[in-house]
Amino acid sequence: MSFPRVVALAMLFGAGLASAQAPAPALLGDAAAGEGKSAVCGACHGADGNSALAMYPKLAGQNESYIARQLTQFKDGKRVNAIMQPFASTLSAQDMHDVGAYFASKRASAGEADEAYVQRAEQLYRAGDSKIGVPACMSCHGPTGRGMAGAAYAQLAGQWSEYIALKLTEWRDGTTWGDDEHAAVMPAIAKRLSDKDIAALASYVQGLHEVQTASAK
């Protein structure tokens, strides 16, 4: 996939036009209902979505639409994970949105970035690198890493660096999470990243967070 094609896909979805590929917006999650339905999730992801171990991604603050999409991918076998598939197989579409709404109502704990990686990672995240064909990460994931709920683009802010690095490496090596154009974006980008770039971006997004004002606390 050429750089113009990668950029075009990123801009298309970043602009919100990818909503056609995202879970149907007719379903709206109920966070209160999702609290009970998500109880089993807490064993790995933490009761409030802030997992204690980096092998389990944080779900706190994650966009409802993104969580619902991933649960659908697990249930349909388009995203393979031996732990998640049995759980997802029991959920209805409404259940998935309810679980998503519950975790979306929580706040992800802030992480820290390694200063040694910041300069390169900030370039990639905020401006991209046309020399290697990588568009700016924030075009889809937002300037503060909150993602884009309407297009089912993930929140990255505060996510474990180890988890981000693992997923980027898997995408670079050919793993996909679906069979539509939405699912093709990250593998196309990740295959252009070096090990150093992956480590830099993973560290950087772990440290991304929104600064809370006194009134918001």
The answer to whether residues 171 and 163 touch, using CB atoms and an 8 Å cutoff, is no
One domain for residues 118 and 13 = yes
Q: 178: which 2 tokens?
A: 């679906």
| The pLDDT of residue 2 | 55
Q: Which domain holds residue 35?
A: 22-104
What is the pLDDT averaged over residues 58-86? 96
Instruction: Dump the DSSP string for 190-209.
Output: HTT--HHHHHHHHHHHHH--
One domain for residues 11 and 57 = no
| The pLDDT of residue 21 | 47
| The pLDDT of residue 27 | 83
One domain for residues 7 and 33 = no
Q: Has residue 18 got a pLDDT over 50?
A: no
To the nearest whole number, what is the mean pLDDT of the chain?
89
One domain for residues 115 and 204 = yes
Over residues 175-196, the pLDDT tens digits come to 999 888 889 999 999 999 999 9
Q: Give the number of domains in the chain.
A: 2
Give me the CATH number covering residue 46. 1.10.760.10
